[in-house]
Amino acid sequence: MITILSTEELSRLLGYSGANTAFRDWLVQMRITPVPGRRGVYDIALVRRRLDEAQGLVPTGTAEPVSLVAARRARLAARA
């Protein structure tokens, strides 16, 4: 199952007041792109992967998919 979010939903989830210029600049900086052919719609799995990369939890450019359990454990370990 693919979970997708609109630009407005994603901006609110990430703590922005809306889909403003700052939010769009942040998307570009994080390399988060819309679903191909669906302008303004984002795949939550890509967003999570980019956030994990930014936090150093997943090596950038890895070809191997990380299991959801392993990713969650890494996030929890990073907090401690």
Q: Taking the model in full, what pTM does it have?
A: 0.65
DSSP 59-79: -TT--SPPPHHHHHHHHHHHH
Write the pLDDT tens digit of every residue in 11-56: 999 999 999 999 999 999 999 999 999 899 999 988 998 988 888 8
Neighbours of 71 (CB within 10 A): 16
Read off φ and ψ for residue 69, nearest 5 degrees. -65, -45
In which residue are the tokens 């693919």 written?
Answer: 2
Q: Looking at the predicted structure, is the pLDDT value of residue 8 above 90? A: yes
